[in-house]
Amino acid sequence: MSADDKATLVFAPFPFMSHLVSAVELAKLLTARDERLVVTILVMKLGMPAVEMAKISSYTKNPPNPRINFLHLQENESASTPPTTSKNQILQFMESQKGPARDAVAEMMKRQNGRLAGIVLDMFCTPMIDVANELSAPAFIFFPCGSASLGLMLHLQILHDNRGGDMEECEEVSIPTHVHPVPAKVWPGGHGQRDMFDKDAGILEFLRRYKESRGFVTNTFLEFESHAINSLSADEKLPPVYPVGPMIQGGGEEADEDKRKREEIIAWLDEQPHSSVVFLCFGTCGWFKGDQLKEISTALEQSGLRFLWSLRKPPPNETLGFPGEYENHEQVLPAGFLQRTMETGKVIGWAPQMAVLSHPAVGGFVSHCGWNSILESVWCGVPVAAWPLYAEQQSNAFLLVKEFEMAVEIKMDYMINSDVIVPARTIENAIRQVMDPENKIRPKVKELHDKTRTALVEGGSSYNFLGRLIENVMDDSS
């Protein structure tokens, strides 16, 4: 194959590990499907905890295949200067990266003497549409969440602008991508927060530019979100949507300590009966305060069920950041809890989530309803008890509980920074329901679990949408 037959796609993921890994999974799908495609993934440097930076650095050292490579952008001095506007720091950061990204991509393409097929932008990287325009390349939005969430956010942005920003009287709203009206308490940002509409948040500014793209790539599949996908596809005002999932994030390389922890956790699960363990895990940024930990502990103990609990330490000042590890769980749990439950439960810190969910001993999942976690639960056929914490997780929980009726609710409108305490009885009842082998949600999860594989194979819905995406890309670049 000659160099002229090659086409380069540039990916611009937001510099968080979860966003970077999602971008790599999409790149792997594309390059595996069409040998003409080469993917370069831009790695931006955003100030964050050293642990997260180390993970990104380690992850980007070894590209997954010869046609995927990482391009590290030089730090822009203006990115660290004090803000001069009220815009969100993320938006400012992305604006500061446009120049370095443009110059790096232009230099790369000149060096390769190739053709730029398009730029695939993370949902928070829409300022980079300007870079695509300058380089005469189509821009695609990679929305790593579901299609219903995409439809909800786009509709709320339009509604907000049409109402002149007055959203206070909207208690619920009918959304084309949803069967039922969506209450305000589960909109992104949560009840009483309305972070999505906060001028300082900048979210609306990202969304307003979505329609400038050539298409939306979503990490979902038609059999899971048929109503939302068909609704988006029928809207002539929107670019086409390409649901190409489920893209399940692999474990990747593990540090020696993480490997040791994983082996210990799996060894414990190996000793448990089939479908007997409820797994509690709340994502990359999930944590709870002391009073809430006591209620969870009481619920687990009173239920008598076997459990595996990933318990993380709140970040400094209890901000929405990256949790750490407790040196001793006894310091934050009720006195004697670990001793009384040592025969039935195990409290851990970091958890190898996919390895745990795929273990036959796990029968239920208490989850924050992050989209990756939802897809992993469906992939593994494990029913969910929904306890969202932040971002779009409340609307994800609404989707699972009310729209699909395939999850149990703990508290659908819970917010991580609220003073609300979910009582032990509520948690216990939900855990008992999700672990009940006769629960009506279990067959629905099993049916969907079977469809996750067929969507990806030749002739499946996601396989076909991926083919359409590649046709769009190659037609534009030829």
Q: Which residues are catalytic?
A: 19, 122
Helix (H) / strand (E) element for 105: namely: helix 89-112
Q: Are 371 and 146 in contact (CB under 8 A)?
A: yes
Q: Would you give the DSSP letter of residue 313?
A: B
Residue 406, SS3?
A: coil
Residue 27, SS3?
A: helix
Q: Are 411 and 366 in contact (CB under 8 A)?
A: no
Report how far residue 313's alpha carbon sits from residue 289's, in angstroms, rounded to the nearest whole number: 9
Torsion angle of C-alpha atoms 309, 315, 319, 320, degrees rounded to 10? -50
- The candidate with the shortest Cα–Cα distance to 64, out of 10, 39, 30, 28, is 28
Neighbours of 320 (CB within 10 A): 12
Report how far residue 231's alpha carbon sits from residue 225's, in angstroms, rounded to the nearest whole number: 10
| CA angle in degrees (0–180, nearest 5) for 261-263-265 | 70
Q: Are 418 and 424 in contact (CB under 8 A)?
A: no
